[in-house]
C-alpha cells in the first residue's frame, strides 16, 4: 500500500468508528423485573394515549383497542408527540406488569378490586383503572386517529 492509500484508509476507518459510536450509546436501558417493555400503536392527546389496533405481526401485552393510558416521559419527547396529535404513532415504553387488570394484584393471578354493577365487572372510576407508561420513544406509523 502506498502512503496515500494508507492515509485514506485511516481516515475512512476513523470516520466509521466515529459514526458507529452513537449507535453503541443508544442501547435501551435494562427493564426492571416488575416491568415490561411494550410497543403500542395508537393516538396521543396531551399526556393521554389511546391504544389502537395492533398490526397482525405485533404482539401487545393484552391491552385491548381503546384502552387509555397516562404517558410520562421527558419533556422534549412529550412535545414531539404533541406535534403529531391526530396521526397514528407507536410508542415504546416501560409499564408495570401488574397494571393490566383492575384492582390490586396480590399474587398468583389474583386481584382484589372494587365491585361494579357494570357489564363485565369493570370499575366505573377512571382513577381506579388508570394505566401509566413511561415513554422511551415513539415513531409515526400509517393511519389517522379517529375523530370524536
**SS3 annotation, the chain:** CCHHHHHHHHHHHHHHHHHHHHHHHCCCCCCCCCEEEEEEEEEEECCEEEECCCCCCCCCCCCCCCCEEEEECCHHHHHHHHCCCCEEEEEEEEEEHHHCCCCEEEECCEEECCCCCCHHHCCCCCCCCCEEEEEEEEEEEEEECCCC
Asked whether residue 39 is domain-assigned, the answer is yes
Asked whether residue 25 is domain-assigned, the answer is no
pLDDT in tens, 6-32: 566 555 555 554 554 444 445 667 888
Asked whether residue 19 is domain-assigned, the answer is no
- What CATH number is attached to the domain comprising 88? 2.40.50
CB-based contact 90:38 (threshold 8 Å): no
Asked whether residue 8 is domain-assigned, the answer is no
pTM assigned to the model? 0.63
pLDDT in tens, 45-85: 999 999 988 766 555 556 788 889 999 999 999 999 999 89
Split into its structural domains, the chain has a count of: 1
Asked whether residue 51 is domain-assigned, the answer is yes
Domain that holds residue 125: 30-144
Amino acid at each position: 500500500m502506498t502512503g496515500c492509500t494508507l492515509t485514506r484508509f485511516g481516515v475512512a476507518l476513523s470516520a466509521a468508528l466515529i459514526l458507529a459510536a452513537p449507535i453503541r450509546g443508544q442501547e435501551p436501558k435494562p427493564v426492571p423485573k416488575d416491568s415490561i417493555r411494550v410497543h403500542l400503536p395508537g393516538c396521543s392527546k396531551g399526556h393521554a394515549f389511546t391504544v389502537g389496533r395492533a398490526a397482525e405481526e405485533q404482539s401487545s401485552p393484552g391491552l385491548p383497542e381503546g384502552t387509555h393510558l397516562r404517558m410520562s416521559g421527558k419533556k422534549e419527547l412529550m412535545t414531539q408527540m404533541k406535534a403529531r396529535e391526530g396521526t397514528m404513532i407507536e410508542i415504546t415504553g416501560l409499564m408495570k406488569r401488574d397494571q393490566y387488570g383492575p384492582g390490586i394484584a396480590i399474587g398468583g393471578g389474583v386481584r382484589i378490586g372494587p365491585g361494579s354493577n357494570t357489564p363485565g365487572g369493570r370499575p366505573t372510576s377512571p382513577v381506579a383503572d388508570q394505566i401509566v407508561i413511561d415513554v422511551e420513544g415513539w415513531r409515526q406509523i400509517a393511519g389517522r386517529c379517529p375523530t370524536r
